[in-house]
Amino acid sequence: MKFKVFVQNALHARALVLLAALAMTCWSSFAQAPPAAGAAPKEQIEGFKEHLLPGGKWYQHDSDRPQPPIVTPGAAFSQAAPPPSDAEVLFDGKDLAKWQNDRGQAANWKVLDGYMEVTRGGDIRTRGKWSDFQLHVEWAAPTQTAGLHGQSRGNSGILINNMYEVQVLDSYNDKTYADGQAGAIYGQMPPLVNASKPPGEWQTYDIIWESPRWNDNHELVQKACVTVLHNGVVIQHKAEFIGSTDGIGGGVPWRGTSKYTPHSPEVFVQLQNHNTNPVRFRNIWLRDLHLAERQ
């Protein structure tokens, strides 16, 4: 009898040990479960190390690429700047007559009190096209930031020809991979500095754009080139695109290797609807630089 009780107790104890081990294993695998690809808690920087960029130093969307120094911009630079006499006003706060969706239909973003706001239904683009231009655009990131971090926070973009993105993002007191923050040539070149204003405040981009050119043999002879002032601070200076931005309309998938695809130098300006982040835009005007006609 005593022996039988001993055996029963021993089996019982062994079962408990096995159960405890199983529980530990489950808890451990749960606790160490990797986060979703690219996602990171607020204190960490999301990122990837898949494709080395030209120069061989940094990967596309590299979390280790240094964060640009923070510069506090002046209180105002070109906020609410009246357009010069030779500018084409693309948005004066009243209507979206100069804009369309990617199917050529009227743009459906909300127009409210002098600004437009990203609305469900896709990006919007200008009806006009230009080769080389000076673009003034003002934007404000959403003030609702709770639980939002990195690429999820006020993401939009200035997408030239739906192929080349100057990133719009709330990069004020929030980090993401350096080549994806506000003013970055997305996936390619971080801004020289981070001149962001807080969410809800109007910020300016003054962008000087030169279209890429191909010769008659379809050989690239001039890369797309951009200079950007963010809130009056130079953040890109004659920066050349490696090729089309990954993850937008230029035929390069997100996290894919950028490359050029020949196209006309005449390009449209597109504003990005990124998961309907309610980014606002106002006072958009453009000056055609007529560089090709210069004597």
The footprint of Mg ion (CB under 5 A) covers 155, 157, 272, 274
Cβ proximity of 132 and 291 under 8 Å: yes
Of 211, 148, 159, 151, which Cα lies nearest the Cα of 185?
A: 159
Minimum distance of Mg ion from residue 142's CB (angstroms): 14
Q: Between residues 87 and 124, which has the closer beta carbon with respect to Mg ion?
A: 124
Q: Between residues 280 and 287, which has the closer beta carbon with respect to Mg ion?
A: 280
Of 284, 255, 273, which Cα lies nearest the Cα of 135?
A: 284
How far, CA to CA in Å, does 227 sit from each of 131, 199, 221, 224, 259? 15, 23, 19, 11, 20
Minimum distance of Mg ion from residue 151's CB (angstroms): 8
The pair of three-digit structure tokens given for residue 182, joined into one six-digit string:
């506000």
Other Cβ atoms closer than 10 A to 222: 13
- The CB-nearest residue to Mg ion is 157
Which residue, chain included where needed, has tokens 């437009």?
116
Q: Between residues 65 and 153, which has the closer beta carbon with respect to Mg ion?
A: 153
Minimum distance of Mg ion from residue 248's CB (angstroms): 8
Q: Between residues 225 and 271, which has the closer beta carbon with respect to Mg ion?
A: 271
Q: Between residues 181 and 272, which has the closer beta carbon with respect to Mg ion?
A: 272
> In this structure, what DSSP letter does residue 181 have?
S
Of 92, 31, 77, which Cα lies nearest the Cα of 281?
A: 92
Alpha-carbon span 228 to 107, nearest angstrom = 26
Minimum distance of Mg ion from residue 217's CB (angstroms): 34
Minimum distance of Mg ion from residue 20's CB (angstroms): 49
